[in-house]
Structure 1
Amino acid sequence: MTSNAETYGIIVAVDGSPASDSALRWAACDAVLRKSSVTVMHVVEPVIVNWPIPPLQGTITEWQQDNAHQVIERARDALAAGAVGAENLVVRTEVRYAGVVDELVAASARAHLMVVGSRGKGAAGRVILGSVSGGLVHHARCPVVVVHAGDAQAVDYISPILVGIDGSPASEEAIAFAFDEAERRRVDLVALHAWSDVDVFPALGANWRAYEDQGHEVLGERLAGWHERYPDVTVHRRVVGDQPARSLIENSQQAQLVVVGSHGRGGFAGLLLGSVSTRVAREAEAPVMVVRGPTRS
């Protein structure tokens, strides 16, 4: 972490939605554990007015300004009530006027963590990832936690942290954050490696034991050295022959947080990890932390 990464501490992007409220509650609990400050950030996208001629671009209406004030005040109240000890948090608020995703991505370069709500469920009842949360998952400069509406209603302090491991640089970063979260929360860590990225199994007679042994070898290599750094964290290794996204989503039902990398080496034995992180962030049964790997020059 660079020194300027602590400028904002934890940023919570708010818009007044139920998922945004859940993100605030989750952020409050995490900030208490980290002893971190919290910046509540609301971005107002200017309205493009096509009449009268010539068009007035970048107009901020009085209604938008009033709404921004209400969103921030509601967020302050929700944050203060979000966790035991949250009343002592250092809380800052900031309203920006520009493109939502662009502004949040820019702010993420000076944050330790960004927390955002997903959009919730669409008309068909399916969980959908909003344009803002989806954009941050792929472009933010710090880890992003996506919280669905209801995820933080009853904060889970008992279930383990779940981390997906594939051996990519992004996966390595995810491991570091997963151990850190597990130690801070004093819970176990489940390290999951999935070695199949197809819907059907390979041809009959394939050497399944070789695939499984290779999976255990990957976990052994990637977890080497971490026990010495985090001796109090109990690690459970899990190797499965399944699609990585599907396996992580299924196992998220018994986790309090899922940690995944984004844009890996071609992911869990061949799958682009960016697609895994997007699907897991969209469908997991727990908040999801997406960690990007080191930026390539």
Structure 2
Amino acid sequence: MVSTTTKYGILVCVDGSAASDTAVAWATHEAIMRHLPITLLHAEAPVVVGWPVGPLYLDMPEWQKENGQHVIDQARKTLSASLGGSKLPETHTEMVYSSVVPTLIDASRSASMIVAGSQGLGALGRLLLGSVATALMHHAHCPVAIIHSGETAAADSNAPVLLGIDGSPASEAATALAFDEASRRGVGLLALHAWSDVGVFPMLGMDWRDSERKGQEILAERLAGWQEQYPDVHVERLLFCDKPSRWLLEESERAQLAVVGSHGRGGFPGMLLGSVSSAVAQSATVPVIVVRGS
């Protein structure tokens, strides 16, 4: 089982945007499903002006307190509207006067999962992930769920969970979480491994049958123990000779959730987010949970 003993439980960073509201709705379902508390956290960044650079206010000014309280109140309303007849989970709110990204990264040490909308206020559509979501995927100390506006309403509760497997330590942590998510949702698991990063065109001297055999071995080795631990989860194995991001995005269209590791092949602790997980988090049309390797 995935450990869930944390101070914050499911931690949601809220900012009053449409993506933030969708993140709250998704996180509410996650908290109910996992029997965890949910914490709505809003950070009001200190205003910095002048030279030498320093904060304009040492304490949060009233106008920021009012704005922050409005954001928190809106998030609580969204949470209540998302219950769907379920019992209200233990709910906490927190407003801090501090830089947003460092605050959330520090708080992630005490969270089971941190949930963020893909875009904050002022972001340009879905062309790029928001700076907060990107920073969390790189540096958070717990799994990060990235939610795009409108995803929750469109999700099929009977659709499977998609898992990307590449054999790395981050992939192993993602596998544990994906099985747990599928079991709690009562759905199947799509376990996908793509053994080529160079596309489908054969390279001189490459034996695709040997690569395919190795790919099948990776899937078998990585899934065996988890299938024994979660016998209720039906697993469909998917093996492709192509770029992983392409097939993860394509298969995510028939999933309700995608789970990927953050380092990828050859990853090492502290490495920047892998291109595969970054591409999936940005472009998938379902929620994506990014799991960092220990």
Question: In 2, distance between residues paired with 1:64 and 1:134?
Answer: 25
Q: What is the CA distance between 1:205 and its match in structure 2?
A: 6.0
Q: How many residues get paired?
A: 288
Alignment match, 1:90:
90
Q: What is the CA distance between 1:206 and its match in structure 2?
A: 3.1
Residues 43 and 99 of structure 1 are in contact (CA less than 8 Å); yes or no, is this contact kept in structure 2?
yes
Residues 138 and 274 of structure 1 are in contact (CA less than 8 Å); yes or no, is this contact kept in structure 2?
no
Question: In 2, distance between residues paired with 1:126 and 1:72?
Answer: 24
Alignment match, 2:55:
57
Structure 1 window deviating more from structure 2 (221-230 vs 169-178): it is 221-230
- 1:132 aligns to 2:139 (yes or no): no
Deviations 1:65-118 (A, max 9, x none): 211000000000001111324552111000111111100010000010111000
Q: 1:2/1:228 Cα in 2 relative to 1: closer, same or farther (>3 Å)?
A: closer
Residues 23 and 147 of structure 1 are in contact (CA less than 8 Å); yes or no, is this contact kept in structure 2?
yes
Q: 1:245/1:2 Cα in 2 relative to 1: closer, same or farther (>3 Å)?
A: closer
Q: What is the CA distance between 1:156 and its match in structure 2?
A: 2.6
Question: In 1, distance between residues paired with 2:2 and 2:103?
Answer: 20
Residues 80 and 86 of structure 1 are in contact (CA less than 8 Å); yes or no, is this contact kept in structure 2?
no
Question: In 2, distance between residues paired with 1:39 and 1:244?
Answer: 34
Alignment match, 2:198:
198
Question: In 1, distance between residues paired with 2:21 and 2:126?
Answer: 20
Question: In 2, distance between residues paired with 1:22 and 1:58?
Answer: 33
- Consecutive unaligned residues of structure 1, counting only runs of 5 or more, are none
Alignment match, 2:189:
189
Question: In 2, distance between residues paired with 1:173 and 1:152?
Answer: 25
Question: In 2, distance between residues paired with 1:4 and 1:189?
Answer: 21
- 1:161 aligns to 2:184 (yes or no): no
Q: 1:250/1:67 Cα in 2 relative to 1: closer, same or farther (>3 Å)?
A: same
Residues 159 and 254 of structure 2 are in contact (CA less than 8 Å); yes or no, is this contact kept in structure 1?
yes
Q: 1:186/1:15 Cα in 2 relative to 1: closer, same or farther (>3 Å)?
A: same
| Pairs within 5 Å for 1:65-104 | 65-104=65-104
Residues 245 and 279 of structure 2 are in contact (CA less than 8 Å); yes or no, is this contact kept in structure 1?
yes
Find the residue that maps to 1:109 and give its secondary structure: helix
Residues 266 and 273 of structure 1 are in contact (CA less than 8 Å); yes or no, is this contact kept in structure 2?
no
Q: Give aligned-pair identity as a percent.
A: 53
Find the residue that maps to 1:167 and give its secondary structure: coil
Q: 1:4/1:221 Cα in 2 relative to 1: closer, same or farther (>3 Å)?
A: closer
TM-score (norm 2): 0.91
Deviations 1:101-153 (A, max 9, x none): 10001000001011100018965x65320100000001000000000011112
Residues 4 and 110 of structure 1 are in contact (CA less than 8 Å); yes or no, is this contact kept in structure 2?
no
Q: What is the CA distance between 1:208 and its match in structure 2?
A: 1.7
- Consecutive unaligned residues of structure 2, counting only runs of 5 or more, are none
Question: In 1, distance between residues paired with 2:126 and 2:232?
Answer: 39
Q: What is the CA distance between 1:30 and its match in structure 2?
A: 1.0
Q: What is the CA distance between 1:54 and its match in structure 2?
A: 6.3
Give the RMSD, CA atoms, in angstroms.
Answer: 2.3
